[in-house]
Structure 1
């Protein structure tokens, strides 16, 4: 399982592709079930790669400095995926998505903040 946890490249690649697919589906650029199904596949890949990183780094390298940062990143990532799915499903049913877009932006910013703050990632903060 070292290929999942040695670097963050796989995880970053999956969530970047996932965000691209999400914005394509949400904007209605491609109106097909295939894009939504591919996005759901990427949800699973994001969770698997993120879960492997969480297990490797949060369990083995947790310090007083990082504390619950790994847990918060994992929780906000799951909530972000939930908001992505809620937006697409509610758009399909022609229901209001305003609150979910707001939560999506909030969870995206929090997930990126915690992801970039952790020791395994880039040294931005």
Structure 2
């Protein structure tokens, strides 16, 4: 399930980049289509992430359990930041605050997911 989760969020980042590029080129209709596909990918990200979180629920060890919950919340924060970036961009507003939130949440998720929690790399 870990590989499916990583694949789904990598796909999400690729779709985010494609939507941003299309929006900057002034192609609103294709950007909206890619945005809708990205929203479907959010569901897959949430499903696979929830399944990984359920593995921590089955074996509750307090420090790891708390970090898994924080990682899950930060993952939802990333999804919200991606939505804010695309929606603000489509409305012509500044996306600086959304990008800052995205980077902070991404760093938090990567550190917890790959280096702290047992289902990661280390």
TM-score between both structures, scaled by the size of structure 2: 0.88
Structure 1's unaligned 5+ residue stretches are 1-6
Counterpart check, 1:90 vs 2:84:
no
Q: Which has the higher helix share?
A: 2
Counterpart check, 1:12 vs 2:10:
no
Query: Partners of 1:8 and 1:18 in 2: how far apart?
Result: 15
Query: Partners of 1:105 and 1:64 in 2: how far apart?
Result: 27
TM-score between both structures, scaled by the size of structure 1: 0.86
Shift of 1:79: 0.5
Number of corresponding residues: 116
Q: How big is the alpha-carbon RMSD for the aligned residues of Structure 1 and Structure 2?
A: 1.5
Question: 1:55-100 deviations in whole A, cap 9, x for unaligned?
Answer: 1x22112314414101000000000000000110010000111111
1:51 corresponds in structure 2 to: 50
Structure 2's unaligned 5+ residue stretches are none
Which structure 1 residue ranges, 4+ long, deviate > 6 Å from structure 2?
A: none
2:37 corresponds in structure 1 to: 38
Query: Partners of 2:63 and 2:104 in 1: how far apart?
Result: 24
Pairing partner for 2:108 from 106, 110, 114: 110
